[in-house]
Amino acid sequence: MEFHPSNLPIAKIFELLDEKGASDAAEEMVRLGFENRKDGFKVLMPKDSKLAKRIGYIMTTSINYGLSQKNQERNIKYWTYHHDKDHYAIVFISSQVLEELGF
Parent domain of 59: 7-97
Identify whether 37 is part of a domain.
yes
Identify whether 22 is part of a domain.
yes
Identify whether 62 is part of a domain.
yes
Could you write out the three-class secondary structure of the chain? CCCCHHHCCEEEEEECCCHHHHHHHHHHHHHHCCCCCCCEEEEEEECCHHHHHHHHHHHHHHHHHHHHHCCCCCCEEEEEEEEECCEEEEEEEEHHHHHHHCC
Tell me the HSE value of 85 on the side-chain side, using a 13 A CA sphere.
0
Kindly report, residue by residue over 5-61, the tens digit of the pLDDT: 888 999 999 999 999 999 999 999 999 999 889 999 999 999 988 999 999 999 999
For residues 90 and 13, what is the distance between their CA atoms, to the nearest angstrom? 10
Identify whether 76 is part of a domain.
yes
Q: What is the pLDDT at residue 88? A: 96
Identify whether 86 is part of a domain.
yes
Total domain count for the chain? 1
Query: Using an 8 Å Cβ cutoff, are 59 and 21 in contact?
Result: no
The pTM of this model reads: 0.92
Identify whether 1 is part of a domain.
no
Identify whether 2 is part of a domain.
no
Give me the CATH number covering residue 14. Answer: 3.30.110
